């Protein structure tokens, strides 16, 4: 196996961890264990406290400045691009429960004292940069199709997008581009954040391991991405309240998916 060097200052040259092929049953087991972790360590109140102030700011902007309406869907879809960053504390809780350690919610903040925090922040920065690139791309696509047209109301915007040829074009091309961004993030992050938390590796090793895990099980990993997208959509529907449950369950489940894809 090739030897890969970590980022400067992170540590010595390390072997990239081995990965194993996973199947649909592994996805089911990861979700089952993720739900079990959530029931044992409910964190929905924390995520309500984090999610709703952000949504409130966005809705205020939507009310007082309609310029954000064309970015409404890209922002919602882009939530999945930075989801792995938000779930780092959940990986820590699952890791501690797995080892039989203290499950106090405050222990999730232990990730901030982890030796890997620099690498975690660096990888998180990459995902944030991808999010901004996605938003810029979505904005450019909107202007290419709609020009300088800005909707006066949300209802007017939805009617224009859902009932006109240029609106259908926006939906078709925008979702195709969004799928490409989602596939990129899934490929580089599906196991990389848990790996950084769990082992002494750097960002390049973590990303390569994630890419290898996806390459070893492309079908199940694509299905995992679809499951994440569908569950996030379900979480968005009931006034975003469902995200307070969906995000923690997916976060814990991702830890267990990592354990199944990267043995040892």
pLDDT in tens, the chain (264 residues): 444 433 433 443 457 799 999 999 999 999 999 999 998 887 765 655 565 555 555 555 554 455 677 887 888 788 788 888 888 888 988 988 888 876 665 455 566 667 788 999 999 999 999 999 999 999 999 999 999 887 777 788 888 899 999 999 999 999 999 999 999 999 999 999 999 999 989 999 999 999 999 999 999 999 999 999 999 888 877 667 788 888 889 999 999 999 999 987
Q: In terms of pTM, does the model score above 0.95?
A: no
For residues 194 and 250, give the distance between their C-alpha atoms in angstroms, rounded to a whole number: 13
For residues 179 and 89, give the distance between their C-alpha atoms in angstroms, rounded to a whole number: 26
Count the alpha carbons within 13 Å of 261 in the hemisphere toward its beta carbon: 31
pLDDT for 3 equals 40
Q: Which one-letter DSSP state was computed for residue 18? A: P
- What is the length of the chain? 264
Helix (H) or strand (E) holding 79: helix 72-86
Tokens, residue 160: 């224009």
pLDDT for 104 equals 61
Q: Which of 181, 174, 186, 194 minimizes the C-alpha distance to 225?
A: 186
pLDDT for 171 equals 94
pLDDT for 100 equals 82
Please report, for the chain, the start and end positions of each structural domain, with discontinuous segments joined by +: 20-261
């Amino acid at each position: 196996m090739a030897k890969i060097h970590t980022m400067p200052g992170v540590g010595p040259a390390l072997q990239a961890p081995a990965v194993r092929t996973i199947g649909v049953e592994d996805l089911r087991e990861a979700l089952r264990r993720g739900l079990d972790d959530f029931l044992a360590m409910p964190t929905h109140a924390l995520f309500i406290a984090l999610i709703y102030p952000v949504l409130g700011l966005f809705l205020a902007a939507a009310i007082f400045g309609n310029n954000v309406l064309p970015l409404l869907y890209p922002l919602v879809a882009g939530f999945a691009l930075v989801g792995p960053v938000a779930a780092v504390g959940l990986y820590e809780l699952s890791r501690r429960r797995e080892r039989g350690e203290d499950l106090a919610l405050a222990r999730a903040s232990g990730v901030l004292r982890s030796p890997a925090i620099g690498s975690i922040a660096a990888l998180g920065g990459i995902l944030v940069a991808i999010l901004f690139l996605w938003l810029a791309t979505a904005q450019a696509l909107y202007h290419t199709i709609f020009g300088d047209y800005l909707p006066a109301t949300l209802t007017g915007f939805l009617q224009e997008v859902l009932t006109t040829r240029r609106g259908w074009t926006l939906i078709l091309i925008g979702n195709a581009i969004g799928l490409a961004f989602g596939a990129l993030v899934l490929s580089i992050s599906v196991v990389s954040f848990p790996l950084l938390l769990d082992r002494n590796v750097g960002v390049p090793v973590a990303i390569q391991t994630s890419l290898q895990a996806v390459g070893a099980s492309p079908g199940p990993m694509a299905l995992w991405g679809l499951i994440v997208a569908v569950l996030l959509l379900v979480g968005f529907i009931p006034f975003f309240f469902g995200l307070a449950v969906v995000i923690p369950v997916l976060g814990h489940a991702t830890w267990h998916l990592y354990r199944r894809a990267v043995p040892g």
